[in-house]
Amino acid sequence: AHLDRIERLDPTVHAFLLVDAEGALATAREVDAARAAGEELPRLAGVPVAVKDIACTQGLTTTAGSRMLEDFVPPYDATIVTRLRAARMPILGKTNMDEFAMGSSTEHSAFGPTRNPWDLDRIPGGSGGGSSAAVAAYLAPLAIGSDTGGSIRQPAAVTGTVGTKPTYGAVSRYGIIALASSLDQIGPCARTVADAALLHEVIAGHDPMDSTSVDAPVPDVVGAAGTTDLAGLRVGVVREISGSDQGFQPGVQARFEEALDALRDLGAQITEVSCPHFAYAMAAYYLILPSEASSNLARYDAMRYGLRVTPDGSPSAEQVMGASRDAGFGDEVKRRIILGTYALSSGYYDAYYGQAQKVRTLIARDFEAAFGQVDVLVSPTAPTTAFRIGDKTEDPMAMYAGDIATIPANLAGVPGMSVPSGTADEDGLPTGLQILAPAMQDQRLYAVGAALE
C-alpha cells in the first residue's frame, strides 16, 4: 500500500530520491512467511520505514543530496540500517535532503526540492524535508532523520509530524555521512509520539563502531510514551527562544501559549527560565558547523570515491580535485567550506573557532543551570510556519535565523523533540512545540509529548 501511494503521490511531493520496491517487498514477504510459520518476530517486523539519504545502505545509492555522491553505492550498511534490517522492517527507500544536510528547506538538494504535503508551494523544512514529508503524506509510517542543528525537529514542526533528536551519542553515527561530527545525531520521524518511541528503541543503543556512542542502557522511551498526566512535572519556558518579543509569527506564538495551558491542565508547573547565552547560539553554531564540515568534506577529493571530473590535457591531481569539487558541490556547501576553512586558518582560529567553542560551553552551562530548576524546557520549534519555496534561497542569513530554537540542543548534546501544536490562524499551516530534556533523559520528551497528544 505504501509503495502504491509513493508511486501515485511522490512524483508531486518528491520525498524520495530512491525507492527500493523490490527490497521492501522481499522483506515484507519474508516477514509474512515467518509469521505464517509461527516464528517470533520483533515488534516492528513488517512495518515499512524510509531512510534519509545520509545513511549508508549497502547496494543502494546514497547521495546525501549531492552530485558529489550521485553514483555512490556504499559497500556497507550504517549501524542504524543494520538495526532496521534486524528489526525486519522493510526499507522503502532513501529520502531527499539538503545537500550534506546543510539547510532548512530541502531546497539545497542537488536533485530538486521536496514539497510540503500541506501546501505544495511551500518547503517541508530541512535538511530532512524528505523524511518528514514522506511521513506527513502517509508515504511511510516511519522515517529516519538526522539532526545537526534542527533537521529532524524543524521539518517535523512544519509538516505537523513528530521528530526526535536523541541525546548526543545515543544513536550510532557509524555509516552516517558526516556533516559536523560533534553535533550530528540520528533520530526517528513519525506521526505519533508512540510511533517515534518504537523506532527510537530500535535504533538507539551502544555501538563499538562509533567512538562517541554512549555505553548506557536506552531509556524506556516506549514506556514513557504511555504517559497521560504530568502531575508535579516542572516545565521551564526558555525566555530567549519563546518570548513574545522574539519576533515569532503570531500564530506560532498563540499555539505555543495554548500548549502551555494544556501542560498546566495536565498538572505541570510552568516557570520562566533564562538561558542568556542562547542569544549567541546561532553565531557559534555557524562557525562550529562550517569548521567541522570543511574538515569532514575534505574527503571528497575525487581520488578515493565520489565524483571525478578530469579537465582536458594532462591535469595534476590538484586540478582534478579542484574541478571535481567545483562541479560536485552546490553553492551552500561551498559557502560553508570557505567559511569553515577561514575560521580554522592559523591567525583566525582563536578569534573565531576558539571563541565559538567558549560560547558553546556557556550554552551547555545555561542548560545545566536551567535543568537545576526544571525537568524539561519548552519553546516553539521554529519561529514561523513553512515558507514558500524560493522565498529565502537568496538570503542565507534569513534561512539560518529559522534555526534559533533548535540549535542550542545540538551545541549542548541534550535531547529534543518536536510535537504537533496545531495550525496557525493566519495561514492554516502546522506549528510545533519543542521539548528539551537533560542528556540521557530522552524518556522525559516522550512523556510530555504523549501526555499532550
For binding to ligand GLN (CB under 6 A), which residues are involved? 101-104, 127, 147-151, 179, 289, 403
Query: Grid coordinates in use for 127?
Result: 535538511
Nearer to ligand GLN, 323 or 382 (CB): 382
Nearer to ligand GLN, 253 or 410 (CB): 410
Nearer to ligand GLN, 95 or 324 (CB): 95
List CB contacts of 101: < 8 A, sequence separation 6 or more.
54, 64, 65, 127, 128, 146, 148, 151, 177, 179, 184
Closest separation between CB of residue 29 and ligand GLN, Å?
35
Residue with cell 541525546: 167
* Catalytic residue flag (residue 146): no
Closest separation between CB of residue 101 and ligand GLN, Å?
4
Nearer to ligand GLN, 127 or 167 (CB): 127
Closest separation between CB of residue 49 and ligand GLN, Å?
20
H-run or E-run covering 421: strand 416-423
- The secondary structure of residue 348, as a DSSP letter, is T
Coil, helix or strand at residue 245: coil
Closest separation between CB of residue 108 and ligand GLN, Å?
8
Which residue out of 66, 127, 146, 324 is catalytically annotated?
127
Nearer to ligand GLN, 149 or 160 (CB): 149
- Report the relative pairing of strands 186-190 and 142-146 from DSSP bridges: antiparallel
Nearer to ligand GLN, 9 or 344 (CB): 344
Residue with cell 518476530: 41
* Catalytic residue flag (residue 52): yes
**Contact call for residues 12 and 124 (beta carbons, < 8 A):** no
Nearer to ligand GLN, 102 or 429 (CB): 102
Residue with cell 521536496: 114
Query: Grid coordinates in use for 435?
Result: 521539548
Closest separation between CB of residue 132 and ligand GLN, Å?
12
Closest separation between CB of residue 40 and ligand GLN, Å?
37
Closest separation between CB of residue 264 and ligand GLN, Å?
31
Sign of CA dihedral 204, 129, 387, 408: positive
d(CA 329, CA 94): 20
Query: Grid coordinates in use for 342?
Result: 577561514
* Catalytic residue flag (residue 295): no
d(CA 220, CA 417): 16
Three-state secondary structure string covering 112-136: CCCCECCECCECCCCCCHHHHHHHH
Three-state secondary structure string covering 366-399: HHHHHHHHCCEEEEECCCCCCCECCCCCCCHHHH
Which residue out of 109, 151, 172, 213 is catalytically annotated?
151
Query: Grid coordinates in use for 164?
Result: 526526535
Residue type, 244: S
**Contact call for residues 99 and 333 (beta carbons, < 8 A):** yes
Closest separation between CB of residue 383 and ligand GLN, Å?
13
Nearest to 376 by CA among 261, 282, 260, 210: 260
Nearer to ligand GLN, 101 or 323 (CB): 101
What backbone torsions phi and psi does residue 157 show, to the nearest 5 degrees? -60, -45
Nearest to 102 by CA among 299, 285, 295, 333: 333
Q: Which residues are catalytic?
A: 52, 127, 151
